[in-house]
Structure 1
């Protein structure tokens, strides 16, 4: 890296530190040494480590969660959005997600950020499922189940072997089919 790091460079480095070392690695002295820059580089962009952590959490929400949602919304329909999301969740390593969730057990600030991201994700999924004709009382629980599956996947990376696009389509079908919802809703 160049000796002139941007705020985004620092946040990207923070993401890598989280994935490889966990939140304990988010120490200014350690990161400055790893990047071979002066402490002034860090403090030019952040008033303190708390400010840096806040920027990491904001970037996680905007650059990852909100950006993925915006990208998925460009797909032709809700079924395709759900299928693509499931495919990504099942096949792309989720190290940053796991690291942030583990960190949330140590920090109330991080726990609040995680709760906000979870709400954004579940709201998006609920809207997609309702748009496919599922009643709200079915769409919201299915959205929550899909979000929980993602969390579980991020914390259990060893079980990704053998996941295929076919499996993603099957799961997408099960979650988006209104007929199944009607049967589920029956007394």
Structure 2
């Protein structure tokens, strides 16, 4: 679970706000996202958010036309972070397919690239909204296509590339949902075996070492 959002006014590194402004648009979005993740979309209510931040409800309308406008902004943020980040990682340079998959694994390690809790919250939201379900379906399709294209670039036939992409993507979703209690050491021990399953190739030692160094910043060591 990501940490509670820090409001702009409580961030010692932030530039001071001018005039009578107490919170920013980003504050509204971050607090709304925290509520979405913790309690579901039904609890993302303007008055409750205002009370949580200690501001008047009217200040909400400086930034958003309506609650629906806020909800649309949350979905846009989700797409611009999770989906865009995963697609970008599939396109990152790598000498071999094993390194390319490890680039995608950066999304698993780094919550700034991919917010897993937010992804699950949107999936739960999609069960209640046809509009969100359609958006989620398009996003899933975009992610799987990006992964398929990644495998294709390393010489896998079209159907095999698509199959490996789906195995990698949907296995990872289920793995994250299960939230296994694993140490950094245990995860790294399993990583080369996962790579063999996902790619059919032997990972390079330097790829594994680079990934180990990267994950130390995010996983409990």
Counterpart CA distance in 1 for 2:130 and 2:89 is 30
- C-alpha distance in 2, partners of 1:13/1:173? 41
Q: Which residue of 1 aligns with 2:98?
A: 79
Contact 1:87-1:165 within 8 A present in 2 as well: no
- CA displacement at 1:52 relative to structure 2: 0.9
Distance 2:181 2:153 in 1: 30
Q: 2:182 aligns with which of 146, 161, 165?
A: 161
Q: Quick one: distance in 2 between partners of 1:166 and 1:123?
A: 29
Q: Give CA-to-partner distance per residue, 1:146-182, whole Å, 9 cap, x none.
A: 221232134322x242551232232223222379xxx
Alpha-carbon displacement from aligned partner over 1:98-142 (angstroms, at most 9, x marks no partner)? 111111101112112211210111011001111111111111122
Partners of 2:35 and 2:160 lie apart in 1 by 39
Give the direction of change, closer, same or farther, for the CA distance of 1:152–1:16 in structure 2 (3 Å limit): same
RCO higher in structure (CA 8 A, sep ≥6): 1
Of 153, 158, 167, 1:131 maps to 153
Q: Is contact 1:75–1:81 with CA below 8 Å preserved after alignment? A: yes
Of 35, 41, 48, the match for 2:59: 41
Please tell me whether the aligned partners of residues 36 and 121 of structure 2 are also in contact (alpha carbons under 8 angstroms).
yes
Which residue does the alignment assign to 1:108? 130
TM-score, reference length from structure 1 = 0.82
Q: In structure 2, what is the Cα distance between the partners aligned to 1:72 and 1:38?
A: 43
Q: How many matched pairs?
A: 178
Q: In the alignment, what sits opposite 2:170?
A: 148
Which runs of no fewer than 5 residues in structure 1 stay unpaired? Answer: 180-187
Aligned to 1:65: 83
- Bigger shift: residues 89-98 or 111-120: 89-98
CA change 1:117–1:5 in 2 (3 A) is farther
Q: Which has the higher helix share?
A: 1
User: Partners in 2 of 1:86 and 1:134 — Cα distance?
Assistant: 20
Structure 1, 170-179 or 16-25: larger mean CA deviation: 170-179
Tell whether 2:28 aligns with 1:10: yes
The two structures, once aligned, show a CA RMSD in angstroms of: 2.5
